[in-house]
Structure 1
Amino acid sequence: MQKKLIALAIAGLVSAPAFAQSNVTIYGVADAYVGFGKHGENDLRGVNSGALSGSRLGFRGTEDLGNGLKAVFVLEQGFNIDEGTEHVEGSAYSRQAFVGLGGSFGTISLGRQYAPGYFFSYDALAAAAIGPQSVLSNGAGMSITPNNRARWNNSVAYTGSFSGLTARVIYSAKNEEVNYKRGTSTPDVYDYANPSSDDAYGVGLEYANGPLKVGGVYQIVKYSENFELDDTLNWVTENGSKKQKEWGLGASYDFGVVSFHASYQSASNLSGWKSYDADLWQVGLVVPVSTAGNVHFAYGEVEFDNPKGEKDTDVKSYTLAYTHALSKRTTAYVAWNRTDNGKGEELGLVEYRAKAGDLTPGGENSDLLGVGIRHTF
């Protein structure tokens, strides 16, 4: 018996350095709010998930391989805290799932990852779901967005930071994006194309130095089918890849008493629809009103350049919010968003949360007031 105990102790000592060289962190966000909203005939009342940040549970790990090289991985699942369900049904790690190698050169990773457009955050709400940039880019079908279209499957990505400059490059061999009807978030309802054999790629640069942050993004998503209007103004399907091309520029500056935020982004051939283009701009400011409280205001517009025979339309969105840090990890907030839809448009947070069979006819405005709390761990 004594020999067995000694052997186990020696085995533990031998394996101890291997465990000491690795590190796994459990992290997450729990964000819930009580919402009151209206969009045409759709009413929203009750608890919802993620007005400031998407609720998530993640595992992040590193292992020191020696000579400055390390292995890295991230597994991150999004969930709806109001119901305890998966954010994307049937996806175990819907937000991120990748493994890679890192060092002084940066990090190279493989899996489901954020495209550079996900980090295009130059708005006063820090890419919150209730902010205009998120509402408009998601509703327009852009891949430069802090939403699901900026998470790409089967991808190879590189990230490197050098003296304040961060570079991001990604290539997705099978993007597997589904087509959304513009203004909705229900891909199972409007899956017009199957671009699973298509690819996507993007590059982003960002420079941060003290109070200044500036950056730019360029991305292309290809679709195996595309759509255009014929001479009788009926949609027709054409075979062959159609590229959705996007670019964006943004900047923010913190003066201490107030910080300013602004960005502009443009997209052509949205979701492979020929001549469906969009331009989105937004501005905002954050004013500290105490050591723990901030007032946020943001305004944005997206203008759709529609195909021949269809009138161009635009959508305006604005948000007023107050956030109060109860601690380093817990924030209470109250926020209001109004989205004014042009004729035929259906953008807005209330519309996104409506059931597929209850969508509001285009042109109705969307209002949402949320009071909530966010905890990070």
Structure 2
Amino acid sequence: MQKKIIALAIAAAVSAPAFADSNVTIYGVANVSYDMTQSGAVANGFSNNKVSSNTSRIGFKGNEDLGDGMSAVWQIESLIQIDGQTAAGNTLANRNTFAGLSSASAGTVLMGRHDTPYNISNRKYDMFADGLADNRSIMGGGTSAAASFNGRQPNVIAYISPAMSGFTGAIAYVAGAEGQTLSTQTKGSAWSMAALYGNGPISANFGYEVHTAGSAPGTLGLGAGLKETAWTISGGYKVAEFEINGIYEKTDDNFAVGANALGHRAYYLSGKYNFGSNAVKLAYANAGANAAANTDADQITVGFDHSLSKRTTVYALYTQLSNGAAGAYALSGNGTGAPAAAVSGVGGKPSAFSFGMKHTF
């Protein structure tokens, strides 16, 4: 079924007899790599070799049976820097952290900080997620646009429906969290929603999100009346031997006096072939130009995985991002949990090799 759907995994857990009483589960991911990047800048390029933590994380989650099919659920999840570096936002509970109520028949309501339904609808299809080749260099607005749709938001209240014949729905409201607001100021907010389907080897999702800016100071206080929207459709086919995925998205905004300055189309295709304990992977992403000419970009990635066990994998990959003459996308730190790994500048072609190990617990 759908990976990381806000509460589906929790709903499955709370229905198991082993979790009938209150409990705490410790889980996490240790994903460390050695990255060699080239900025690919048109002028004054640079290279960088470093160890990356690749959004390694540790979490605590649990539930309490309240009777009549109802459970209280909670989770606290934090980014950890295995490489010993300190990154922005490297604080306790900076990842999916929430509390809520869950019912197998009525669904789940939660409040806290969490991936949006839009983000959840397509993140499972990123073949190189949580690493240097993470597709958020291009998708979700990428690093060349102000929009950020494939993300995690604070101040979230969300509802997730029960699964019915493979279908699940999710909707979330994000409060702007402004400070003191004058009567003459407007508040910002966001809505995100998704329809999710999974049946055997086939899955297909749809996501929609709108950000409404306000004039009050705060996380969404950009200016009254400004909006940015995005919709995405994604799907995949997965069997034991291979997996293929695709994502398409369209973003729009009215930032420049009603003009769609940053709106553009983007798509992502990926495939994986498994043989024994090994797998070869290939992905291609493309972002079309926005209102300005030659602001397009594409990215291609090839990789190899070798499984040492069910929970431990070693891997190698190569990725290159190519900007149009006026494009300013970059291999970003979305997947590594750190600032941009290889900022290229306008028209640049950043590239990288990455060799690493991933262990889940």
The answer to whether the Cα contact below 8 Å between 1:122 and 1:251 also exists between their aligned partners in 2 is: no
CA distance 1:271–1:83, change in 2 (3 Å): farther
Partner in structure 2 of residue 182 of structure 1: none
The answer to whether the Cα contact below 8 Å between 2:87 and 2:339 also exists between their aligned partners in 1 is: no
| Counterparts of residues 84-103 of structure 1 (less than 5 Å) | 85=86, 88-89=89-90, 91-103=91-103
1:375 to 2:359 alignment: yes
Please tell me the residue identity of whatever aligns with 2:206: G
* TM-score, structure 1 normalization: 0.77
Partner in structure 1 of residue 73 of structure 2: 72
CA distance 1:42–1:269, change in 2 (3 Å): farther
Secondary structure of 1:82 counterpart: coil
Shift of 1:305: 1.7
The sequence identity of aligned pairs, in percent, is 27
Partner in structure 1 of residue 21 of structure 2: 21
Relative to its length, the structure with more helix (as a share) is 1
Partner in structure 2 of residue 296 of structure 1: 281
Shift of 1:121: 2.9
Shift of 1:131: 3.8
Rounded to whole Å, the distance in 1 between the matches of 2:333 and 2:165 is: 43
1:320 to 297, 302, 313: 302
The answer to whether the Cα contact below 8 Å between 1:122 and 1:250 also exists between their aligned partners in 2 is: no
Please tell me the residue identity of whatever aligns with 2:95: R
Rounded to whole Å, the distance in 2 between the matches of 1:331 and 1:99 is: 32
2:192 to 197, 202, 226: 202
Secondary structure of 2:84 counterpart: coil
Shift of 1:115: 0.3
The answer to whether the Cα contact below 8 Å between 1:117 and 1:144 also exists between their aligned partners in 2 is: yes
Secondary structure of 1:92 counterpart: coil
Higher Rg: 1
The answer to whether the Cα contact below 8 Å between 2:133 and 2:331 also exists between their aligned partners in 1 is: no
**Gapped regions of structure 2 (runs ≥ 5):** 1-18, 179-184, 216-221
Secondary structure of 1:80 counterpart: coil
1:215 to 2:217 alignment: no
1:240 to 192, 201, 224: 224
Shift of 1:331: 1.1
Rounded to whole Å, the distance in 2 between the matches of 1:267 and 1:363 is: 22
CA distance 1:175–1:375, change in 2 (3 Å): farther
Q: Deviations over 1:21-74 (max 9, x none)?
A: 201111111111011110122312021121xxx211111110011111000011
Shift of 1:175: 6.2
**Gapped regions of structure 1 (runs ≥ 5):** 1-18, 177-194, 226-237
| Counterparts of residues 1-377 of structure 1 (less than 5 Å) | 21-39=21-39, 40=41, 41-50=45-54, 54-83=55-84, 85=86, 88-89=89-90, 91-104=91-104, 105-119=106-120, 120-121=122-123, 123=125, 125=127, 127-131=129-133, 133-137=135-139, 138-139=142-143, 140-145=145-150, 150-160=151-161, 161-174=163-176, 197-224=187-214, 239-269=223-253, 274-275=259-260, 276-290=262-276, 292-306=277-291, 310-349=292-331, 360-377=344-361
* TM-score, structure 2 normalization: 0.80
